[in-house]
Structure 1
Amino acid sequence: MGLSRRGVLFGGLGVAAAGTAVPAGQHIAWGQKSFVREGYSPDYPEPPIGEDSWMNWSGIHKATPTSIPMPTTETELSELVAASPVRIRPKGSGHSFSGLVPSEGMIVDLSRLSGLLNYDPATGLATFGAGTTLFQAGGKLDELGRAFPNLPDIVDQTLAGSFSTGTHGTGLTLTALHDYIQAFRLVTANGDMLDVSADTQPDLFAAGKVSLGALGIITQYTLRTVPAFNLHRVVKAERIEDVLENAETTAEQYRNFEFFYLPGTGIAATLTHDLHEGPVTGVGPSEDDETLEGLKTLRDQFGWWPWLRRKIAQSALPSGVIEDVSDASLELLATTRPIKFNEMEYHLPRDQGIAALRQVIAKMDRRKDAFFPMEVRFIAPDSAWLSPFNDGPRISIAIHAAVDEPYEYFFSEFEPIFRAHGGRPHWGKLHSLGRAEFSALYPDYERFLELRRGLDPDGKFLNPHLATLFGERFDA
């Protein structure tokens, strides 16, 4: 949106003088406040001699596994799994905020099991190695004149990581990414390789599309694709009340609709996409990082007085249409996120989503330290056993905190709101739920656990986080 540090400081001069009416002590105390959370470190853990180290993208999960092998073939992976005397977890690009990967046993890097393995022009089905990133797969499909029907706004994740956690984009008629899966190959705990589809093993297929990496290690996916398409994107800055009032109608009107609320400002950025025919304008460099830095400066300088902060934001931020572009779907649906954060995201029944969002916004606006935008998206239903969307369309609400700032308040202040409105957490993001809660939320949850125990009776693919989710005892 182009809100820079300079824009915040100079755009707000007209109202900043009002700050003189507030006792100076409040401003001084706020200016001396540190927002860095206790114990924050961006460094990898120091491993014991002969072992390795790992951490996720944001650094809140770290581990010192015995090794991080990078198999180059499925046979090599199969033999590695069969012979392993320690527990194993697969890793992708590390974009999960929940503890799905950490292991003091072995962490297997799938990045060399990547690339396009097969493409059938008659059906449009494409087979990729599971370690391929969404960006890499999207680029290869574009070369073939094909595309994924939809994408999330971050495409650094591997196919296995994104599918296994229920990653999604936005659009009332568009399903989450795992719904594109037509078949996959699974390496089980004893090293067997199973080719799985809805025709060959329907239960395993329904369970494996969103599996948390708990059934085994998936090595390749055969995916449904569509002819490549272009999109027209319009970004607007609008009053949040207007956005909330019209959100349902807007979601029905456009192919893709999402919005970001900027805490403490009363302003949201709405993004709409529709199919586009004809020449494209292309898209310029993103200003998201500049805007985020501006919002942080606004918090740092004026968070001590919410009224003043809001006035400055509304003075400095643009209004109305701020971007109107067209380009290939891969270029417009995906964005870069170099500024790191931690995130909680819950998926709420469509008829509960906006009511819950109003409560979340009100509570977030009362937090003087919050500045990171919250994201709201709309997702169509599918049938995977552990898909958060398998019981109908849902509205997803994601809240964020800067990577070096506290996020623990997500659990005490916001998770109760999400849960009270029937929310299901994103499998790859922060939550505090365990087996009892998930059994109540998912009709097929106990079936999934039974299937998992049959495939992995000794818990070779368990780690502490999964043991909590599954109600299993975990002895390292």
Structure 2
Amino acid sequence: MAVSRRTMMLAGGAVIAGGAAIPATRHLSWGARDFTRPGYDPDYPEAPAGEESWMNWSGVERATPQAMRLPASEDELRQLIAGTNGRVRPCGSGHSFSGLVPSEGMMVDVSRLAGLQSLDAGTGLATFGAGTRLFQMATELANAGRALPNLPDVDVQTLAGSFSTATHGTGETLTALHDHIEAFRIVTANGGILDVTRGSHPDLFAAGRVSLGALGVMTQYTLRTVAMFNLRRKVWVERIETLMEQAEALASQHRNFEFYYFPHTGMAAGISHDLHEGPVTGKGESEDDSTLEDLKALRDSMGWSPWLRRKIIGAALPRGVVEDVSDSSYKLLATTRPIKFNEMEYHLPRANGLKGLREVIARLEKRKDVFFPMEVRFIAPDDAWLSPFNDGPRMSIAIHAAVDEPYDYFFSDIEPIHRANGGRPHWGKHHSLGKDELTALYPKFGDFLALRRELDPAGKFLNPHLAHLFGEDFDD
């Protein structure tokens, strides 16, 4: 079995599982919306009262809006927003796990406001519709010989959704995606349109790059791009303690570095990407899905004995470099994620990162049911008001649970560890924080709330989750 990026294969996993493979189809369904198909263009009907019409990727967030709209133009969007006195929430690919999107009012899908609108060959500035998905943006930039400096490991999100939640990749010198924004265009609560740059609207620019969709609906972004480049990826298997001891040095040594820990194994996968010159090998087929099925099967058959589980899987895993490939940056940095899950991700100050990680591992391994790999990444700072990275470099720790399994322990067992270590939650993933905690974490949180009230005094863009975050009343 070849090894793919992000998960190590269990060399003996299928044998250990005794052939009792979990049917892949249970996990492979993406539901009704195929976010990975180029040109996907859904046609939402109005939602009859009481009927489900929207849910997020994992299915944990659902809504029955009064109307689901898919405007074909900015002007149509402007008229929709100006013409309603009710609540409005923008939506994109539905890949957030938190409750940012659901609304019982009007939900506006920005998917048709997509594509490359202009590219300045001299400056490298590229303007895209806000509903453009990351994979579409990366492909269109590559066709023009351009790229973003970095990408996250999932690329089905819209630009608006990924920027508004501070989505990021990994690399200690590389910032989150929103830091590449040079300008944006936004429709406000009264139907007005603002063109925003750092110079024209400095506060709105600082707040709007990570806006949670609370300031208005984005229609386009102008991004700084770089010349297209190739990367070489190496994946290797190492003891988790050894990898943690080397983590800081590896993060400094490689352009992109991340690692994954496999609970109850004592083993981890290191993944590096570095600039590559010359011919490329291309990447092979991903085997992540079958790997996760093997890990789950091993949990199901050996979960009663964590010691035996660790011994068997430790013996089965290979050692050293298990993948060495090269390709265009956008083809290596992002991967397809068909297996559904729920996720909590916190960003810890680098000084507390490894301490927090050890505490999380120790706490997780008190549970026999955990099998999903943990993900650890490194992010450089920026200056957006609600960016989790606006006070210095941070280490990101993400934990996952299969979509059909409980994840309440995220909040009871793991979130307190992150909070004790100064962690800030990913805005698009599970967390329980509200206004008081967020005000303590973000020096500009009060300024953001004041600007939100100025732009949207009636709370048109609020929903219950945002009202909780902002400490606002919500009476719908």
Structure 2 length-normalised TM: 0.92
Shift of 1:49: 4.6
Structure 2 equivalent of residue 54 of structure 1: 54
Structure 2 equivalent of residue 265 of structure 1: 265
Asked whether the 8 Å contact 1:263–1:372 carries over to 2, the reply is: yes
SS at match of 2:220: strand
Structure 2 equivalent of residue 394 of structure 1: 394
Shift of 1:407: 0.5
SS at match of 1:356: helix
Shift of 1:296: 0.5
Q: Distance in 1 between matches of 2:14 and 2:96?
A: 35
1:288 maps to a residue whose letter is D
2:12 maps to a residue whose letter is G
Shift of 1:11: 5.4
Q: Distance in 2 between matches of 1:307 and 1:419?
A: 30
- Structure 1 residues 108-147: Cα deviation after superposition (integer angstroms, max 9, x where no partner): 0000000011110010000000000000000000000000
Q: Distance in 2 between matches of 1:361 and 1:47?
A: 44
Q: Distance in 1 between matches of 2:286 and 2:357?
A: 27
- Structure 1 residues 364-384: Cα deviation after superposition (integer angstroms, max 9, x where no partner): 122100000010000000000
SS at match of 2:414: helix
Asked whether the 8 Å contact 1:7–1:294 carries over to 2, the reply is: no
Do residues 139 (structure 1) and 139 (structure 2) align? yes
2:369 maps to a residue whose letter is D
Q: Distance in 2 between matches of 1:151 and 1:143?
A: 17
Which residue, 7, 10, 21 being the options, matches 2:12?
A: 7
Asked whether the 8 Å contact 1:52–1:67 carries over to 2, the reply is: no
Q: Mapping of 1:75-90 within 5 angstroms? A: 75-90=75-90
Asked whether the 8 Å contact 2:187–2:193 carries over to 1, the reply is: yes
Shift of 1:10: 2.5
Structure 2 equivalent of residue 403 of structure 1: 403
1:95 maps to a residue whose letter is H
Structure 1 equivalent of residue 151 of structure 2: 151
Structure 1 equivalent of residue 226 of structure 2: 226
Do residues 367 (structure 1) and 372 (structure 2) align? no
Do residues 274 (structure 1) and 285 (structure 2) align? no
* Residue ranges of structure 1 left out of the alignment (5+ in a row): 14-35, 37-41
Distance 1:52 1:403, change over 3 A: closer
Structure 1 equivalent of residue 381 of structure 2: 381
Q: Distance in 2 between matches of 1:131 and 1:43?
A: 19
Shift of 1:86: 1.6
Q: Mapping of 1:16-31 within 5 angstroms? A: none
Q: Distance in 1 between matches of 2:10 and 2:127?
A: 45
Distance 1:271 1:218, change over 3 A: same
Q: Mapping of 1:305-320 within 5 angstroms? A: 305-320=305-320
SS at match of 1:68: strand
- Structure 1 residues 77-103: Cα deviation after superposition (integer angstroms, max 9, x where no partner): 001000013200000100100000000
- Structure 1 residues 333-372: Cα deviation after superposition (integer angstroms, max 9, x where no partner): 0011100000000000000000000010111122100000
1:8 maps to a residue whose letter is G
Taking only the aligned residue pairs, the percentage that are identical comes to 68
Structure 2 equivalent of residue 20 of structure 1: none
Asked whether the 8 Å contact 2:10–2:313 carries over to 1, the reply is: no
SS at match of 1:207: helix
Do residues 348 (structure 1) and 353 (structure 2) align? no
Structure 1 length-normalised TM: 0.92
Shift of 1:48: 3.8
Q: Distance in 2 between matches of 1:182 and 1:52?
A: 38
Q: Distance in 2 between matches of 1:203 and 1:418?
A: 30
Q: Distance in 1 between matches of 2:51 and 2:373?
A: 39
Asked whether the 8 Å contact 2:283–2:327 carries over to 1, the reply is: yes
Do residues 437 (structure 1) and 437 (structure 2) align? yes
1:346 maps to a residue whose letter is Y
Asked whether the 8 Å contact 2:175–2:380 carries over to 1, the reply is: yes
Q: Which segments of structure 1 move beyond 6 Å, counting only runs of 4 or more? A: 2-6
Asked whether the 8 Å contact 1:87–1:105 carries over to 2, the reply is: yes
Structure 2 equivalent of residue 193 of structure 1: 193
Q: Distance in 2 between matches of 1:43 and 1:283?
A: 29
Shift of 1:291: 1.1
Q: Distance in 2 between matches of 1:323 and 1:192?
A: 51
Structure 1 equivalent of residue 41 of structure 2: none
Shift of 1:12: 8.4
Q: Distance in 2 between matches of 1:154 and 1:264?
A: 26
- Structure 1 residues 184-219: Cα deviation after superposition (integer angstroms, max 9, x where no partner): 001000000000000100000000000000000010
Q: Distance in 1 between matches of 2:11 and 2:66?
A: 48
Q: Distance in 2 between matches of 1:49 and 1:141?
A: 42
2:302 maps to a residue whose letter is F
Distance 1:196 1:4, change over 3 A: closer
| Bigger Rg, structure 1 or 2 | 1
Distance 1:408 1:60, change over 3 A: same
Structure 2 equivalent of residue 25 of structure 1: none
Q: Mapping of 1:71-150 within 5 angstroms? A: 71-150=71-150
Do residues 301 (structure 1) and 301 (structure 2) align? yes
CA RMSD, aligned part only? 1.8
Shift of 1:320: 1.0
Shift of 1:457: 0.1
SS at match of 1:81: helix
